Amino acid sequence: MNTPVLTYSRDSSTPRLKLPAGACDAHVHVFGPAARYPFDRALTWTPVDAPKETLFALHRQLAIDRCVIVQSLVHGFDNSAVADAIAAGSGRYLGVALVPHDVADSELKRLRDAGFRGVRFNFIRHLPQAHSVDNVVALTPRLAALGMHLQVHFASALIHELAPVLKRSAVPVVIDHMARVDASLGPANPDFQRLLELLRDERFHVKVSGADRLGGDAPYAPGIALAKLLLQEFPDRCFWGTDWPHPNHTHVPDDGVLVDALADIAPTPDLRKRLLVANPQRFYQFAA
């Protein structure tokens, strides 16, 4: 059996930045506990449990009031651990599910009723997948009937072939982690320019999360610069998240440092309120 891997810090710093009331961490995962929610048998590594109780405690420390939990491949298509966290979150936690592209309408409705607001598909070479972008876009009329959105996670080089197909989506599309572009190449990078072009279509949204993944060590200046640019260009269609508990990473980030980076990503109170409160409130439909 694989030795369990701890992907998150157990002693993240407390941020210096004061977040606005209602602030939302729009991209996290939960792992386990494996004794109750077994990990997917196809998983080639074993994470240390990162259950809802640990997530809730972290959010209290970071002064985060709301959250969107994204189903991880750690649990495959079994969304039970996320559903359990949503149910325990008193309306402040919602979810995005993983489903096969041929998921039944009844299952989509069950997920919607349980607090899932969208479904996610991965187009990353190191992650298993059994779908094409055409399959995924063909699903979107059925998502539209339920008021759900599409979330996509892909390697940056794929944006050029995925973008024309994604533009046929019948629902809004959320792009994960700034399309995983190489931040060290700066905004002139053709992959980043294609992301900007795609975001000029108002159906597209982007998570300005992952500055810690896009190149450079803490304090992650190259990724922060791209996140700031995206928020300036599209202030009403950006979301932010910690990506806790940071799976498949090169290092274990300090979540307090990631929160403090918001002072640079969103340097005014108005921008921080849009990014952290107004945008997720409107898009994910949190209860008032």
The residues annotated as belonging to the active site are 243
Asked if 220 contacts 211 with a C-beta cutoff of 8 angstroms, the reply is: yes
Residue ranges of the alpha helices (H) in 89-169?
Answer: 105-113, 133-144, 159-166
Write out the DSSP string of 25-92. EEEE--B--TTTSPPPTT-SS-BPPB-HHHHHHHHHHHT--EEEEEPPTTSTT--HHHHHHHHHTTTS
What single-letter amino acid sits at 24?
C
Q: How many CB atoms lie within 10 A of CB 166?
A: 22
CA-nearest of 117, 133, 207 to 168 is: 133
CA-nearest of 246, 265, 288, 219 to 58 is: 246
